[in-house]
Amino acid sequence: MATVQVSEAEKVYILHGIRDDLRVDGRGCEDYRHMEIETDVVSNTDGSAKVTLGDTAVLVGVKADIGKPRPMVPNEGYVEFFVDCSANATPEFEGRGGEELGTELSNTLYKVFNNKHSVDLKSLCISAGEHCWVLYVDVLLLQCDGNLYDAISVAIKAALFNTKIPRVHISADEEGGKEIELSDDPYDCVRLNVENVPCIVTLCKVGHRHVVDATLQEKACSVASLIISVTHKGTITCTRKVGGGSLDPESIFEMTEAGKRVGKALHAPLMKLLQQEESLGKARQKVGFLG
């Protein structure tokens, strides 16, 4: 992760501020920074989203391809994640520098989505044992100012909401084999149900309290963080501890409860915003990467 150097006195200042629930930029311990979400920014994907959280910017593209289902689960499709840390974000990511962080992020995403309910994999099946839809979710880090997991999870949820999978018809051809036909109409597509897609909340332990959406300076003052992925009902799908420091079992419980509360509160405004964006339709002014 990109790191900043902080002096001892600055650390003490940040620590005392968090203890008094007044962070450096005036937020409370459980407030997020200003978030901007836009979908359908990359034209050659089936679904895409760009999320800006403070100074962190993340771009997600979803491509749907037809593939062979996994042997253990022949009537389900699957999702593949790949995270690319671009050198745009920080010079540390140049060449292979960002690979370690990228693999760590994608492994966590696999864990978060590794359950029956997040994405309805049965709806991705075309013909059992032979063909299914594979969703390739590619994440690109454009700018890094702390709190990557949260931004990535919001962007994935928005991109999956925006994904349009073409409708397929299976017909038997002359030799008795199956032939797959894609519908000619570009607007004839299937949308995914993203109700149960979880959002990730990162809680950093600073002093005796925890903060949500930590900036790089606050991250430099914390020794341990807890990553929790929460669905809109408040169910936790994955918990992970990162960082070299130790966490007290009581504080883990406290942080988990706070994470559930904050995570649950993220879903409703996000879905409302996505539906609002969808309803604007052609009238929406696309901002993209300029402006």
Partner 1 sequence: MAADMRLPTIQKPVSLTFSAFDRKDLVVPGDVITSDTGFMRGHGTYVDEEKLTASVAGEVQRVDKLICVKPLKTRFNGEVGDVVVGRITEVQQKRWKVETNSRLDSVLLLSSVNLPGGELRRRSAEDELTMREYLQEGDLISAEVQSVFSDGALSLHTRSLKYGKLGQGVLVQLSPSLIKRQKTHFHNLTCGASMILGNNGFVWLYPTPEQLEEEAGGFYTSLEPVSVSDREVISRLRNCLLALAAHKVLLFDTSVLYCYESSVHHQVKDILKPEVMGEIVMLTQQKLLDQEG
- For position 30 contacting partner 1 by CB under 8 A, the verdict is yes
Give me 248's structure tokens. Answer: 């007290």
Candidates 211, 207, 212, 202; CA nearest to 223 is: 207
* Ranges within 225-284 binding partner 1 (CB under 8 A): 262, 265-266, 269-270, 273, 276-277, 284
Q: Which residues, numbered 125-144, are part of the site for partner 1 (CB under 8 A)?
A: none
Nearer to partner 1, 20 or 100 (CB): 20
Amino acid identity of residue 97, one-letter, is G
Least CB distance to partner 1 at residue 203 (A) = 14
Which is nearer to partner 1, 49 or 126 (by Cβ)?
49
Neighbour-count burial of 268, counting CB atoms closer than 10 A to its CB (0-12 exposed, 13-18 middle, 19+ buried) = exposed
Question: Dihedral of CA 21/25/26/28: which sign?
Answer: negative
Question: Residues 112, 200: contact at Cβ < 8 Å?
Answer: yes
CA pair distance 231, 195, nearest whole angstrom: 8
Calpha distance 265→231 (Å, rounded): 10
Closest contact distance (angstroms) between CB of 280 and partner 1 is 8
| Min separation Cβ 109 and partner 1, Å | 20
Q: Which of 2, 38, 161, 224 binds partner 1 (CB under 8 A)?
A: 38
The nearer residue to partner 1, 131 or 232, going by C-beta atoms, is: 232
Residue closer to partner 1 by CB (options 129, 288) is 288
Q: Which of residues 1-20 bind partner 1 (CB under 8 A)?
A: 5-10, 12-13, 16-17, 19-20
Q: Which ranges of the chain would DSSP assign to H, the alpha helix? A: 8-19, 99-112, 148-162, 216-221, 249-280
Rounded distance, CA 32 to CA 15, Å? 18
Q: Does 170 bind partner 1 (CB under 8 A)?
A: no
Which spans of this chain sit near partner 1 (rule: CB under 8 A)?
5-10, 12-13, 16-17, 19-20, 22-28, 30-38, 52, 262, 265-266, 269-270, 273, 276-277, 284-285, 287, 290-291
